[in-house]
């Protein structure tokens, strides 16, 4: 086949241009990565105020001291700073259908009055009426960040504590590329006080690409993790214990993974509660738990709503599931990679 010299040169030029465009695109990506690496700032904090002051994009926050959110909130905010406003976050339409709240808002966090308290206020309430609820009726949400890492001490972990019996220890909304590491989080309540119906350790709504590594999630409340619309999540090398509702509740959440964790010493209704969610549990020890669910689903409960299409996929790989008491039927098909004592499942009820 004969090709004119001019056409050949044209083809060569096109190929060269194409390669140059590819090289340019690759260089641009590398340049952006290097720029992001250079702008990833590091902050070392010892108090809640210092922590709130530096929350933002492209940064690593090292927690050098334990933080008691409730006790430190009272020192850094005043009741007259709160304003009534609309929610900019998504809430589980079944558990907390709400539109307005009482906030101190900033770009990357908000401090908020408990919903159960706000709902009891009269239309023309005075802010001074809320003094009795400060600080144990308020909580914090970290929101709208990109590439944020919150890292505690490797030796002994850094404690994040809340004395609020009706909120998560920490809430997250609409964050992407979030990492939590070396943190021990729990509710600190008087012995005679029990948590309300919704007091998880960590709560996520609308977050993307979240990793929790080497953390101790002490329920001392309802769930270790409660998540709505969470996409691409990994919990690894961590412990969930002392929960009363479930180890994890996932609603409309996808690509969620639990790897090399321990779910131990819980007394709750169900270990995993999912609705329209995808979850893989791998290399995890599930031991010394008791669970009872009125739907006979003590291990995994699927909790569909009448108006939602039920799409659940929960699987277990290389897990050790022993020394538990599940007062309900087992509806999970465990593969042979798992170590399981099936006598744990008991569907006979008194």
Decide the pairing of beta strands 41-45 and 59-63: parallel
Contacts of 50 (CB under 8 A, 6+ apart): 43
Per-residue pLDDT, 28: 60
Q: How many domains is the chain partitioned into structurally? A: 1
For residue 43, list its beta bridge partners: 61
Domain assignment present for 9: no
- Confidence band of 125 (pLDDT split at 50, 70, 90): confident
Span 178-188, average pLDDT = 96
Q: Is the pLDDT of residue 102 over 60?
A: yes
Domain assignment present for 155: yes
Average pLDDT, the chain: 82
Domain assignment present for 292: yes
Domain assignment present for 91: yes
- Confidence band of 310 (pLDDT split at 50, 70, 90): very low
In tens, the pLDDT along 284-294 reads 999 999 887 64
Span 125-140, average pLDDT = 82
Q: What percent of the chain has pLDDT over 90?
A: 46
Domain assignment present for 23: no
Q: Is the pLDDT of residue 16 over 50?
A: no
In tens, the pLDDT along 57-83 reads 999 999 999 999 999 998 998 888 888
Span 27-50, average pLDDT = 73
Span 314-341, average pLDDT = 85
Per-residue pLDDT, 22: 52
Domain assignment present for 16: no
Whether pTM > 0.85 for this model: the answer is no
Per-residue pLDDT, 306: 35
| Poorest-pLDDT segment among 1-5, 6-10, 304-308 | 304-308
Give residue 245's domain range: 41-344
Domain assignment present for 31: no
Per-residue pLDDT, 295: 52
In tens, the pLDDT along 226-259 reads 999 999 999 999 999 999 888 999 998 999 999 9
Domain assignment present for 11: no
CATH code assigned at 188? 2.160.20
> Of residues 191 and 175, which shows the higher confidence score?
175
């Amino acid at each position: 086949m004969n090709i004119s010299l001019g056409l050949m040169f044209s083809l060569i030029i096109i190929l060269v241009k194409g390669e140059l465009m590819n090289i340019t695109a690759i260089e641009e990506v590398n340049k952006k990565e290097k720029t992001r690496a250079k702008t990833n700032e590091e902050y070392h904090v010892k108090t809640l105020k210092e922590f709130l002051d530096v929350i933002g994009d492209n940064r690593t926050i090292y927690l050098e001291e334990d933080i008691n959110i409730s006790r430190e909130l009272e020192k850094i905010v005043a009741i007259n700073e709160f304003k009534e406003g609309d929610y900019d976050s998504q809430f589980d339409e079944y558990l907390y259908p709400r539109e307005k709240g009482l906030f101190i808002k900033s770009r990357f966090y908000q401090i908020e009055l408990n919903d159960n308290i706000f709902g009891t206020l009269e239309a023309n309430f005075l802010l001074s009426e809320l003094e009795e609820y400060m600080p144990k009726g308020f909580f914090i949400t970290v929101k709208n960040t990109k590439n944020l890492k919150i890292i505690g001490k490797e030796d002994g972990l850094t404690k994040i504590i809340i004395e609020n019996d009706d909120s998560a220890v920490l809430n997250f909304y609409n964050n992407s590329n979030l990492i939590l590491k070396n943190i021990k989080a729990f509710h600190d309540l008087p012995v005679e006080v029990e948590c309300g119906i919704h007091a998880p350790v960590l709560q996520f709504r609308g977050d993307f690409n979240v990793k929790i590594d080497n953390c101790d999630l002490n329920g001392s409340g309802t769930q270790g993790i409660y998540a709505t619309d969470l996409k691409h999540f990994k919990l690894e090398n961590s412990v969930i214990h002392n929960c009363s509702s479930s180890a994890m509740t996932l609603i409309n959440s996808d690509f969620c993974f639990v790897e090399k964790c321990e779910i131990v010493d819980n007394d709750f209704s169900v270990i995993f509660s999912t609705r329209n969610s995808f979850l893989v549990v791998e290399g995890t020890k599930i031991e010394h738990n008791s669970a009872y669910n009125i739907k006979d689903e003590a291990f995994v409960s699927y909790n569909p709503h009448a108006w939602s299409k039920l799409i659940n996929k929960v699987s277990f790989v290389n897990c050790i599931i022993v020394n538990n008491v599940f007062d309900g039927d087992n509806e999970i098909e465990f593969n042979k990679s798992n170590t399981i004592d099936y006598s744990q499942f008991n569907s006979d009820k008194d």
